Amino acid sequence: MNYYHFEISKMKKIIFPTFALTFLSQLIFTYFFVIVGKFEDNDVDDILTSYPAILSLASTITMCIISVYGAVAISRHIVKNYVGDNRNRVFLFPIKRSRLYLIKNIVFGCILGLSQFVALLLVNLIFSIGETIFPILDKPIKSYWVDFIFVAVVCVLLTLSIVLFSSFIGIYFSSTMYTVITSVISIVVLANVSALSLINFQFAASIGASCVLLAMLPILRYVGKRIDESEAI
């Protein structure tokens, strides 16, 4: 547990930036889409007049922003420790290197995921209260709370998947820059799919997001094995 406490003490500094970025992004884009939907005169496409769709679009953009921030943060807190001369420091810890690597990822994932999730739920709560008291779309919103929680969970799972996969690539190619580049490419590939899935196929989106995150586990073990087999420079 001392190692967990040590890693938490180092990584807790990402809590506020993650929370603040998530909160501001979700709040801004939620109301942006609501206002656009309010004044959009389109009888065919009513996506921007549906609360779940609006929250899904806003959450997808927030996911993209936090994925990039998370990639930058994980490159500083984890990836850089296994790149170049910094790998020598890992040999000094009286613990198996793959276990230390696992602890770092668990702590980072919990901090990033919980900070993002709490911020998403807080914005959704504020938005729900606002639409109940002073509605912009003039539609009942209370029945959509399950959808709001559902969307938040899926976005957190996808964010963690993108960030962890980006860190794997960064360590594999011994480059912190590869971590950020991989996150950007992943966002380009997944953003549209994520938005459409959250709007039209929420259950399938949750299953897909869970499977993607679970697929990171064998990759995590593989990278840990490579770290164990590496030699000091």
Tens of pLDDT, residues 130-189: 877 877 776 666 666 777 788 888 889 889 999 999 999 988 888 889 999 999 998 888
Residue 143: predicted pLDDT? 63
- Can you give the residue range of the structural domain that contains 130? 2-229
Amino acid 233: pLDDT: 44
HEC secondary structure over the chain:
CHHHHHHHHHHHHHHHHHHHHHHHHHHHHHHHHHHHHHHCCCCCCCHHHCHHHHHHHHHHHHHHHHHHHHHHHHHHHCHHHHCHHHHHHHCCCCCCHHHHHHHHHHHHHHHHHHHHHHHHHHHHHHHHHHHHHCCCCCCCCHHHHHHHHHHHHHHHHHHHHHHHHHHHHHHHCCCHHHHHHHHHHHHHHHHHHHHHHHHHCHHHHHHHHHHHHHHHHHHHHHHHHHHHHCCCC
Count of structural domains, the chain: 1
pLDDT reported for residue 140:
63
Q: Is the pLDDT of residue 45 over 60?
A: no
> Average pLDDT of the chain?
83
